[in-house]
Structures are given as structure tokens and as C-alpha cells.
Amino acid sequence: MKRFDHWLVTTTLLLACLGLLAIYSSGGAYYFLRQLTFLPVAIGAAVAVLFLPRRILYGLAEPLYGLAALLLIAVLFAGTGPGSHRWFVLGPVSIQPSEFAKLATVLMLAKHLSVKRSIRFEFRDLATPLLITIVPALLVLVEPDLSTAFIFAALLAAMLYWQGMRPLHILLLFMPALSFAAGFSLYTWIPFFVVLAILLLIRSGVTKALIGLAVSAGFGLLSPVVLASLKGYQRARIMSFFAPWFDPHGISWNAIQSQIAIGSGRLIGKGFLLGTQKRLGFLPNRHTDFVFSSIGEEFGLVGCLLLLGLFFWLLRHVLLAARLSDDSTGSLLCVGFAAIIGYQVFVNIGMLLGLLPITGIALPFLSYGGSSLLLNFVMVGLVINVVSRPE
């Protein structure tokens, strides 16, 4: 143990304890006790990976990645979930293979990217990392779980950046997909195109900029063409696939209620267990995806900012670990994990605050759920491993 990072341990445990309180308050004793039994298992797993020699871990990258892909395929056929195929139900527990796939993908990418000195905007450099990311992302997308599929894009972007790729090139890499997505409506596509045009003209040559804009325009134009060629019911199906929140019955209701719950907490909250909105039973997943609304109601702005502070501190130390590590694979691992946690924190809280559409993304360390808690702890265990045990 060269440099054991106590802050990582402290903030993680604090977050988990806050989660337990919020689960007790919103979900009741049953879910509290279940989460309480998950916690030692998660801590045990974190300690185990802490002492795992990283050489062995890196050697396992391909088998783990393969296993993750197999599980993602299997869950499409044998899985359950609300209108989708996301979980395996094994007796009393349900397992979400996409949680595991995120970690396996980070590991695989880290192992592959670490041998490169720098990443240029070239097919030779990008083909493999793109392939590694796209396979699990597509499998998650067809579950369908759009918001989790986006995590793969986030972690790829973060890791490419960490390995030295220019932000502009990263933007260009994601540009066709972004342009296609924005092309569904002129109101989103025109601002997108203008910003892209300005960026490209400032940061690269005119020729390159024109090529980039042409490609972008092509993908953007493709989108309405694809949309128009579909029949009405197919379009509706696509809309509900890419925009599951586009459902006037219920979802906006949840969003309104979670905003009222959080807003009514005001500065210091109503006090632990004294929240009223949750008792009305308006939220379907109040101890899982909506757990933050209970924190907002009972602990107020102070509690929420404290929680955001804890997440900042945690992520800051994960990134520090990446910086301090002399092992480039380990360093990339840390960045990938930071991207996963950061994405989930922002999307989960953002949707409860009405900034983002409601989707099924859990709040790391706080939301009820065994597999997510376990893998969050495994990530922290690995980060501590990277920072404290030189190869």
C-alpha cells in the first residue's frame, strides 16, 4: 500500500449510507434491509478487487468482455423488464447485464488504448475502440435502453480524450450520429449545424471544415428522409423507442411530482422521514430511480448540494487516481469509471429536476439495487487498486 486514498473510501461509504437513509424513508424497511444486506457483499467485492493483481485483471479483459456480450445477447431472449428485456431474474435477485457490460467495456478499451501513444483522427487508430464500444452499446440499445446505451458513448469520449485525442476530433467522431439525431427536427438541427460550422471554421482549415459540414449535412438530411419513408405506426413506434418519455399519460406526471417534492424541500428540507409527497405514492420507483427526490424533499437544498459535493469529491479523486497512476491501463480504467459515474449522476438528477427526459438511469451508490451497488463498489475498489498498488 503505497498511497492509500482514504477520501475515496470515506466518500463512497458516506454516499452508500445516505442512500440507505433515503431508501428507508422512501421505500420502507423491506427495501432498506435488503439494501443493507447487499452492502457487505459490495464492500467484500471491492476489497477483493483491491488485492487482485492487475496483470491478472488485464489478462481477463477479453474473456470478461466476451462474457458481457453473451449475457447481453442472452438477456434479449430470456430477460424481463417493463416493456423491454433488461434483467435476468434468478430467484430473489434480478441481475442487469448492462451494468456488468459497462465495466467490461471500460476494461477492454483501457487495455487496447493504453498501448497507443496518441490517438489521431484516423481509421487505423479508431476502428478497434469504436468496434469495442459499439457492440455492447447496440445490444443495450435494442433491449431497448437508450439512456444506458449513451453511457458507452460517454465513456469512449472520456477515454479517447484522456489518451490524447483532440476534443475537436472527438466531436467530429460523434458528429454523424449527433447530426442524424438532431435531424429529426429542423429546430434542433439548425442550431447544431451553426455551432458545428463555427467550431470547425475556427479550429480547422476551410477545406476540412467544408468536408465536415458536408458529411454532417448529409447525415442530417438522411434523418427526415428515413422518417418520411416510414408508415405512421412505424414512426410512432420509433418515436416511442427513441423518445419513451413522449407519453402524455403518466411520465410528465412523474416529472411534475418529483419537481414538486424536491422544490418543497426548500432550503433545509422537511426533515428525515417527514416528507409528504412520497407518501402519496405518486412515483413508481421512488426507492430506485427517484430516490434523489426523497433526499431533496427531506434534506432540502443544503442536503442536495452536500450530495453533489460528495459526488464531486469522489469523481475528483477518481480522476486524481488516473493522474497519479504510473500504469496507463489503470489510469484509463479510472477515467472510464469516472465517465460512467458522472454520466449517471448528471442524467439521473437532471431528469428528476426536469432538465432531461425521464429514463431508467439509477443514481450510483444511492438507488436501491444489488447489481448496481456491487459494480459501483467494484469500480471504487479497482480505482483504489490502481492508485495504491504499483505494478
Partner 1 sequence: MAARLTRLTQVLLVLLGILAIRLIHLQVVQGPRNSRLSDRNRIRKLVLPAPRGRILDRNGVLIADTRPSFTISVVPTELTDSALPLLARLLGIPEQAMREQLKPVAMFTSPVNVKRDVTIEEVARVEESRFRLPGVHVRVDPVRHYPTANRYCHVLGHIGEVNEDEVRRDTALRRLDFVGRAGIEAWYESLLRGRDGSEYAEVDARGQEIGALPEKHAEPESPGRDLVLTIDDRLQQLAGRLLAPYPRAAVVGMETRTGAIVCLVSQPDFDPNIFMAPIDPATWDSLVSNPSKPFFNRAVTSGYPPGSTMKPVVALAALRQGALTRETRFQPCTGSFKYGSRFFKCSGAHGSLGLISAIAQSCNIYFYQAGLRLGLDSLTAYSREIGLGRITGIDMPGEKPGNIPSRQWLDTRYGKDKWGAGSVLNFAIGQGEVSATPLQMAVVYAAIANDGRSVRPYLVARIDSAGRTIHTTVPEVSQLPMRQPDIELVKLGLEHVVEWGTGTKARIREISIAGKTGTAQNPPRPDHAWFVGYAPSDAPEVVFAVLVENAGHGGAVSAPIAGQLIRAYFSPDEPEPEKPAKADSLAPEPDSGPAVPADIGLSPVPP
| Shortest CB 119 distance to partner 1, Å | 13
- Comparison of 78 and 274: residue with beta carbon closer to partner 1: 274
Distance of CA 19 to the CA centre of its chain: 18
In angstroms, the CA 18 to CA 295 distance is: 9
In angstroms, the CA 217 to CA 188 distance is: 13
Tell me the C-alpha to C-alpha distance, in Å, between residue 384 and each of 135, 185, 227, 351: 29, 45, 48, 30
Q: Which of 181, 175, 173, 176 is nearest to 226 (CA)?
A: 181
Residues lying near partner 1 in the complex (CB under 8 A) are found at 158, 161-162, 247-249, 252-253, 256-257, 259-267, 276-277, 280-282, 296-297, 300-301, 304-305, 308, 311-312, 315-316, 319-320, 322-323, 335, 338, 342, 345-346, 349-350, 353-355
For the chain, the helix, strand and coil percentages under 3-state DSSP, each to the nearest 5: 75, 0, 25
- Comparison of 64 and 340: residue with beta carbon closer to partner 1: 340
Using the structure block, give the residue that is written with the C-alpha cell 477545406: 207
- Comparison of 172 and 318: residue with beta carbon closer to partner 1: 318
- Comparison of 25 and 277: residue with beta carbon closer to partner 1: 277
| Shortest CB 164 distance to partner 1, Å | 8
Tell me the C-alpha to C-alpha distance, in Å, between residue 332 and each of 45, 101, 326, 384: 21, 16, 11, 13
| Shortest CB 169 distance to partner 1, Å | 14
| Shortest CB 279 distance to partner 1, Å | 8
Cβ proximity of 133 and 152 under 8 Å: yes
| Shortest CB 40 distance to partner 1, Å | 30
- Comparison of 11 and 277: residue with beta carbon closer to partner 1: 277
